[in-house]
């Protein structure tokens, strides 16, 4: 059983137990539960879709903040909150599913929200029972920091289980993302947990209004990024329609390049550069009067390959790319024909994966023979492919299709 499946089953079991407990004992303070449930459902209903490679950090920050606020709620209008941990989990789950009607959240994200909410509620209960404390707010912030780090650890493990690569690299990616929307979610969660103790539940919309504005802006930014991603895909498609490359070549190179980059421990931003560069690496072939057979440029003279790469890089510099550094994408494209020691890592990955794809599909060698040719070229001292990139490619292929790439 994979780690992701085990986490999903554990989250489902915990959620069922929480629902059963809540049904058996009844809903404590239903008005409070309804207010926070409505806030979570609203945030989930306004959830934005990822807009570009790597743009999937927290798609519903208002819902996340509302979940944490309900887990950390101690008083409402001067009266102590009486809901327990099981009710917190049950209300957050029900509100999330209600707000996501027709667009269910990804299982990983739902499991992480259930785990984070349960952890925050469990840790908060002893603090709440201890009574007034001069460092109460600081304790809440530290608790939320612990919850955020724990969520990053779980997210990295799930990403590693699904996509492979190194756990340390996945964890670094998640930790680097925390200073983004994370502090705003935590601050809003603390505010929405403390303010009702004095002002009542009506203050909840005011607490979450700034984060709601951020979420709406994120939706618009996501739409712009999706447009840019479609532009890059259209440029890749143009080479296929012109007969320069086989159908689906650029997409296959992009998907495999991203997997190899993850295996090498690249950051999420670096993986975005790799993916865009892979989609656009053959654009320079549109300048050819006679297309290269099967789009395989490796047999061309070095100067011709450099010319095509420079043309592709020039197009990449003009492309409206969001979420990645367009200059890095252009450099990865225009350095495709250089010796690997002179290339950025993104260019090395795309060059090697493209060569593998050309050999395996374009020239009909097959996956095992194609990988064997690359390994033999490296053993012979070729400067076209970095050895560690070739071996990372071999590990990805072996993991995706065991036994397929043995030579």
306 domain residue, yes or no: yes
The pLDDT, as a whole number, for residue 35 is 93
- Per-residue pLDDT tens digits for 167-183: 877 788 788 777 777 78
What pTM value is reported for the model?
0.68
227 domain residue, yes or no: no
Q: Are 296 and 253 in contact (CB under 8 A)?
A: no
406 domain residue, yes or no: no
User: Which stretches of the chain drop beneath a pLDDT of 50?
Assistant: 51-56, 402-407
288 and 211 within one domain: no
The pLDDT, as a whole number, for residue 204 is 87
Query: How many separate domains does the chain show?
Result: 2
The pLDDT, as a whole number, for residue 48 is 58
The pLDDT, as a whole number, for residue 88 is 94
Q: Which two tokens stand for residue 157?
A: 């493990």
The pLDDT, as a whole number, for residue 407 is 33
Closest to 88 (Cα-Cα) out of 116, 109, 112:
116
Interaxial angle between packed helices 345-357 and 249-263, expressed in degrees from 0 to 180 and rounded to the nearest 10: 130
Q: What is the DSSP letter of 297?
A: -
The pLDDT, as a whole number, for residue 58 is 53
CATH number at residue 252: 1.10.3210.10
The pLDDT, as a whole number, for residue 92 is 94
Last residue of a domain, one of 189, 222, 255: 222
166 and 50 within one domain: yes
Long-range contacts of 49-52 (CB under 8 A, 24+ apart): 49/222, 49/226, 50/222, 50/225, 51/221, 51/222, 51/223, 51/224, 51/225, 51/226, 51/229, 51/322, 51/323, 52/222, 52/225, 52/226, 52/228, 52/229, 52/272, 52/322, 52/323, 52/324
298 and 193 within one domain: no
Q: Are 350 and 281 in contact (CB under 8 A)?
A: yes
150 and 51 within one domain: yes
- Residue 56 DSSP SS3: coil
230 domain residue, yes or no: no
**Torsion 275-292-396-347 (CA) sign:** negative
Residues of the domain holding 218: 3-222
176 and 61 within one domain: yes
H-run or E-run covering 75 = strand 75-76
Closest to 110 (Cα-Cα) out of 98, 122, 127:
98
304 domain residue, yes or no: yes
């Amino acid at each position: 059983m994979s780690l992701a499946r085990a986490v999903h089953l554990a989250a489902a079991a915990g959620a069922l137990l929480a629902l059963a407990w809540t049904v058996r004992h009844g809903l404590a303070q239903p008005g409070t539960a309804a207010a926070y449930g409505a806030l979570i459902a609203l945030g989930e209903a306004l959830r934005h879709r990822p807009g570009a490679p790597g743009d999937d950090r927290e798609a519903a920050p208002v819902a996340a903040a509302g979940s944490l606020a309900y887990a950390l709620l101690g008083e409402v209008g001067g009266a102590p909150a009486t809901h327990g941990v099981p009710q917190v989990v049950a209300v957050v789950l029900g509100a999330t599913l209600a707000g996501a009607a027709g667009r269910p959240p990804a299982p990983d994200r739902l499991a992480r929200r259930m785990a984070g909410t349960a952890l925050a509620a469990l840790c908060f209960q002893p603090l709440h029972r201890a009574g007034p404390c001069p460092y109460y707010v600081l304790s809440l912030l530290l608790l939320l920091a612990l919850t955020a780090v724990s969520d990053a650890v779980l997210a990295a493990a799930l990403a590693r289980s699904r996509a492979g690569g190194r756990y340390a690299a996945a964890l670094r990616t998640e930790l680097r993302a925390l200073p983004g929307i994370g502090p705003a979610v935590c601050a809003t969660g603390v505010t929405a947990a403390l303010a009702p103790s004095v002002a009542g539940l009506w203050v909840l919309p005011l607490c979450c209004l700034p984060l709601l504005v951020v979420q709406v802006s994120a939706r618009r930014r996501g739409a712009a990024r999706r447009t840019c991603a479609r532009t890059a895909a259209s440029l890749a498609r143009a080479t296929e329609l012109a007969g320069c490359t086989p159908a689906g070549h650029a997409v296959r190179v992009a998907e495999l390049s991203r997997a190899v980059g993850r295996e090498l421990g690249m950051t999420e931003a670096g993986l975005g550069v790799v993916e865009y560069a892979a989609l656009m690496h053959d654009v320079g072939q549109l300048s050819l009067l006679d297309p290269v057979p099967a789009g395989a440029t490796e047999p061309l003279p070095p100067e011709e390959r450099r010319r095509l790469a420079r043309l592709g890089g020039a197009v990449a510099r003009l492309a409206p790319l969001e979420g990645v550094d367009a200059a890095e994408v252009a450099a990865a494209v225009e350095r495709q024909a250089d010796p690997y020691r002179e290339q950025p890592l993104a260019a090395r990955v795309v060059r090697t994966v493209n060569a593998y794809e050309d050999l395996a599909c374009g020239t009909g060698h097959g996956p095992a023979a194609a990988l064997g040719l690359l390994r033999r070229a490296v053993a012979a001292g070729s400067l076209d492919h970095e050895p560690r990139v070739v071996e990372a490619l071999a590990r990805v292929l072996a993991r995706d299709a065991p036994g397929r790439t043995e030579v």
